[in-house]
Amino acid sequence: SYYPYAEDANHFHQTIKAACDKSHKEYYPVFKRWCDEYFYLKHRQEMRGVGGIFFDYQDGQGELYKGPDSQGPAAIYSQQLGVPESRNWESLFTFVQNCGISFLPAYKTIVERRQPMEYGDRERNFQLYRRGRYVEFNLVYDRGTIFGLQTNGRTESILMSLPPLVRWEYGYSPEPNTPEAELYEVFLKPHDWANWKPNH
């Protein structure tokens, strides 16, 4: 969502964490940090969104983090854990299935909660502007997109995930004390969303 709510981020992360915890209690802490690293626009110094989990090259051997940044938070946390007990392909497949199954309850609740909200031109323009960040990430950093384009893959298929409409605005800065400003101030930075508690 381009107008996130802390309770939605909390619900999403708690649901994904519960799916991870069915397989291994350390999956979520490592893979959440890895997601925060991977989905980061270095040239903008902002995250792509509220995060989730990201993992790659899992073969059941060695440390959980297998990414390129050996000094990043995910690598450091993974190194402190050491090598978890040996995992096999069946347990990894079950883990991936649990993550996939968890997505609908994680996301559907948020959609149902926010669906009645009204929006106008201001919100639509901001949505299109934020979609530009997705395009930037895909074309500059996403390994799958870069690999596909560099190996003469089917360009149309590779770029099919890009949104049909986006907009850019030179030097955009949200007005203070607006929902748009809150996105930048709160939601585009790493947080422990799974353990977030509302301030009453």
Tell me if 87 is assigned to some domain: yes
Taking the C-alpha atoms of residue 143 and residue 146, their distance in angstroms, rounded to an integer, is: 5
Tens of pLDDT, residues 35-46? 999 999 999 999
Supply the pTM of this predicted model: 0.93
Say whether pLDDT at 1 is over 80. no
Tell me if 199 is assigned to some domain: no
- 49: which residues sit within 8 A by CB, 6+ positions away? 4, 39, 187, 188
Tell me if 17 is assigned to some domain: yes
Domain span including residue 20: 6-193
DSSP 28: H
Say whether pLDDT at 81 is over 80. yes
Query: What are the b/e assignments for 84-106, b being 16+ CB within 10 Å?
Result: beebeeeebeebeebbeebeeeb
pLDDT band at 80 (very low <50, low <70, confident <90, very high): very high
Q: What is the mean pLDDT of the chain?
A: 95
Tell me if 122 is assigned to some domain: yes
Tell me if 198 is assigned to some domain: no
Say whether pLDDT at 200 is over 60. no
Tens of pLDDT, residues 98-124? 999 999 999 999 999 999 999 999 999
User: C-alpha angle 94/98/101, rounded to 5°?
Assistant: 135
Residue 11 is part of a domain; what is its CATH number? 3.40.1500.10
Tell me if 111 is assigned to some domain: yes
How confident is the model at residue 86, as a pLDDT?
82
* Two structure tokens written together for 194: 């799974």
Q: How many domains does the chain have?
A: 1
Tell me if 38 is assigned to some domain: yes
Q: What is the pLDDT averaged over residues 58-87?
A: 95
How confident is the model at residue 120, as a pLDDT?
96
